[in-house]
Amino acid sequence: MALWHLGDNFTSDIVVLLNQHPTKQLLLIRRKHEPFKGCWALPGGFVNSKTPQGMAFVFAETHLEAAVRELYEETAIVANPADFRLIGTYDAFGRDPRAEGNQRVVTQTFLYVVTHMPEVLAGDDAAEACWFDLNAVLSGEVALAFDHADMVRDAKALLS
């Protein structure tokens, strides 16, 4: 299954952490669609584009705008973009199985730390949204889709 655009396709993912002592909680969504249908993942999705399918990508929103929008669409959390912190850019070929040929998915991942556990409501591409113990995810007890485990580890390193 090919992606929408020739060459690079862009996404934003969000590591949402409840940072309370003694335990830290991580918000995950269960994917409603392939790839990785039924698997746990970070909230996130494609950056909106101004171009029709099959043409080169032209941005219609920034990665940060996409992160705020996707977080709301998939979890009903309303977030202030000023509270997001860039974790990194993930751009390895093959990180998303939908890419074919010269396509690749480039994502910017953001950290959003909350001090109280907001109520979440799964929507859009999320079949379910739940909080998990961060250590269970870091240990691999809770498996994640794509390369999201790397993103969670990198977010944890930012907090250390």
Domain assignment of residue 102, yes or no: yes
Q: How many structural domains compose the chain?
A: 1
Domain assignment of residue 1, yes or no: no
Write out the residue range of the structural domain in which residue 133 sits. Answer: 8-159
Task: Reply yes or no on whether 128 is catalytic.
Answer: yes
DSSP H/E element including 125 = none
Domain assignment of residue 61, yes or no: yes
What is the identity of the amino acid at 98? R
State the first-to-last Cα distance of the chain, in angstroms, to the nearest integer: 39
Query: Which domain CATH number covers 113?
Result: 3.90.79.10
Residue 86 or 101, more confident: 86
Domain assignment of residue 65, yes or no: yes
Q: Which of 61, 74, 119, 128 is catalytic?
A: 128
Domain assignment of residue 35, yes or no: yes
Burial string for 96-129 (b: 16+ CB within 10 Å, else e) reads beebeeebbbbbbbbbbbbeeeeebebeebbeeb
| pLDDT for position 28 | 98
Is the CB of residue 71 less than 8 Å from the CB of residue 77? yes
Domain assignment of residue 28, yes or no: yes
Q: What six digits make up the tokens of 80?
A: 């202030």
Domain assignment of residue 71, yes or no: yes
In tens, the pLDDT along 100-135 reads 888 899 999 999 999 999 999 999 989 999 999 999
Domain assignment of residue 100, yes or no: yes
